[in-house]
Structure 1
Amino acid sequence: MTELSFSAEPNGNTIARDELKSFTNQIGSNLRLHHDNNEIKDQVIDDNELNSFKNQIGSILGLHADIDKIKDQVIDDILNNGRQSLAKYEDDIRPRIYRAEMNSADSKLIVLLKKYFYRRWETQCERSNEWFISFLTQYQKEKAPDLYERVLTRTAENGNRYLKNCPILSIVLQLLFENIDDVCLKNTDIFDKLWSAITNKGLKSITKYSTYIKEEVMNEQLDKNQSILFQALREYHRPQVFSLLKENNTPEMETMYDSILDKVAENGWPTGKHDIKQKIASKSDQTLHSN
């Protein structure tokens, strides 16, 4: 088999740099990826809406910019790490306000944070991943409202703590594996192990965690044709797959992309990465022999 060159410089086996850049830019646009960092192109909460959330938090906590120098720090911490991060600022908040906002299950702060995190999920996914919003709505209104509320409240309490580097996959796992409750999350590493297994070994690895998911839900998720978890895994692996195809100057990137994403979601990243490299090498070898 012919040895591949992964250089972007023009030679007999590769695409010229300008042509490659144009090609990957077009594909990145089609596949909802940034050209510079390969992250999924998500819409974010606009500045006006974000400032509204910040102002409301400041008002709830009795913080004023002119006298409270740490106002921005407190608010940013809460928006990233949830209500529990407020404990670090107990001495900076009036005792009555602190107790009311930290100890009540339906305090103004926790209610606002639930609105904020849902809005963040919604704006990040409303264009590129409408299926995720439909999934959330189904749980919220029909399938399991109590479970949905529990996961949303958990996020409002802890912010990004359990969202890891892919909120879509994390939220899907938390809703499907309902027996991984707050106590389990805090006192065990089961969620971390589940995350590692499913991202490295693929969809079928969920059978090892059958204790934490209803049997009918697990069987439904193992069927790729109806599996929300399969779609979430595709989103998790999307930047990695794109990056690898781009790195190897793959001319067939757009046509190969979906099938490779399916394979990686099903079998995990290490196996999928190996298969990708084999497929790239095979395609290149076929091209060279046809010339």
Structure 2
Amino acid sequence: MLKIITNELIKILALDDDDENKDKIINDLLKNGRQSLINYQKDIKPKIYREQMNGNDNELMTLLKKYFEQKWEVEYGSSNAWFIAYLKQCKNNDNVTYENVLTRTAEYGNKYMKNCPILSIILQILLKDIDNKCLQEKNLFDDLWLTITNDGLKSIIEYSKYIASEIINELINEKQSILFQALREYYRQELFRLFQQNNIADKENLCD
């Protein structure tokens, strides 16, 4: 998959084989999204740059969205099947929200992924009415992230302005709500990192 995506990106951007920044441009795109191209404007033909940076209905954004969607499927399809099932449900039942989150990821890459993409994506879907401008100017997502990871599931109530009350009630009261599962994955990863930093073997599978 990666090789095919890479070759298509090279073709779309008309990058030369002898361009010393070619690999760097591709790697940056796959990590930090379309916005990373701003750093390589001089390496891309002006007409192509304008076309691929203008709006979301172009080859570059279509390909980046395809890449990130497939990346989620590959990375989490086995280990977190519930997450992929939820994404497919959103894609089918709330396609506008799903497309907004996918487009944001194609645009900014890992900018909003923090250290747990699963939790980040779930939160972005839940805050469906928050646009990119609001996220950037008000640091809303950073505040939400700190609140939910420090204070736990019920702290989502503090963001009732952005999430319907019936959804908040479901998130808090359902035993295996989507937010509960996402937070569990976040804390599992944090615990695993803590064990690694202190050279502690997880003999009892506490991180599972």
TM-score for the superposition, normalised by structure 2 = 0.92
The yes-or-no answer on 1:182 pairing with 2:107 is: no
Residue equivalent to 1:63: 15
Distance 2:201 2:5 in 1: 44
Answering whether residue 149 of structure 2 is matched by residue 221 of structure 1, we say no
Distance in 1 (CA, whole Å) between partners of 2:29 and 2:169 is 38
Q: Which has the higher contact order (CA 8 A, sep 6+)?
A: 1
Identify the residue that residue 156 of structure 1 maps to in structure 2: 106
Does the aligned pair in 1 maintain the 2:9–2:26 contact within 8 Å? yes
2:57 match: 106
The offset of 1:215, in angstroms, is: 1.2
Alpha carbons of structure 1 residues 242 and 77: separation in structure 2 relative to 1, 3 Å: closer
Distance 2:207 2:36 in 1: 40
Identity percentage over the alignment? 51
The residue identity in structure 2 corresponding to 1:211 is K
Aligned counterpart, 1:88: 39
Moved over 2 A (4+): 239-254
1:140 and 2:96 correspond: no
Task: Report matched runs for 1:255-274 at 5 Å.
Answer: none
Q: 1:186: how far off?
A: 1.5
Tell me by how many angstroms 1:239 deviates.
2.6
Q: Which residue of 2 aligns with 1:50?
A: 2
Alignment coverage as a number of residue pairs = 207
2:204 to 253, 257, 260: 253
Task: Sort the Cα spacing of 1:183 and 1:253 in 2 relative to 1 into closer, same or farther, 3 A.
Answer: same
Rounded to whole Å, the distance in 1 between the matches of 2:23 and 2:202 is 47
Match of 1:172 in 2: 122
Which of 146, 156, 166 aligns to 1:206? It is: 156
Query: Distance between the aligned counterparts of 2:189 and 2:54, measured in 1?
Result: 40
* Per-residue deviation, residues 124-167 of structure 1 (Å, max 9, x unmatched): 1010100000000000011x110100010000000000111111
Secondary structure of 2:112's aligned partner: coil
Which secondary structure state, in structure 2, belongs to the residue aligned with residue 159 of structure 1? helix
Q: Secondary structure at the match of 1:160?
A: helix
1:257: how far off?
A: 5.7
- Unpaired segments ≥5 residues, structure 2: none
Using the alignment, how far apart are the partners of 2:201 and 2:45 within structure 1?
A: 59
2:119 touches 2:186 (CA, 8 Å); kept in 1? yes
Q: TM-score, normalized by length of structure 1?
A: 0.67
Write the deviation string for residues 177-229 of structure 1: whole angstroms up to 9, x where unpaired: 11322121121111111100110110000101111111111111112414101
Larger Rg: 1
| 1:105–1:250 distance in 2 versus 1, CA, 3 Å | closer
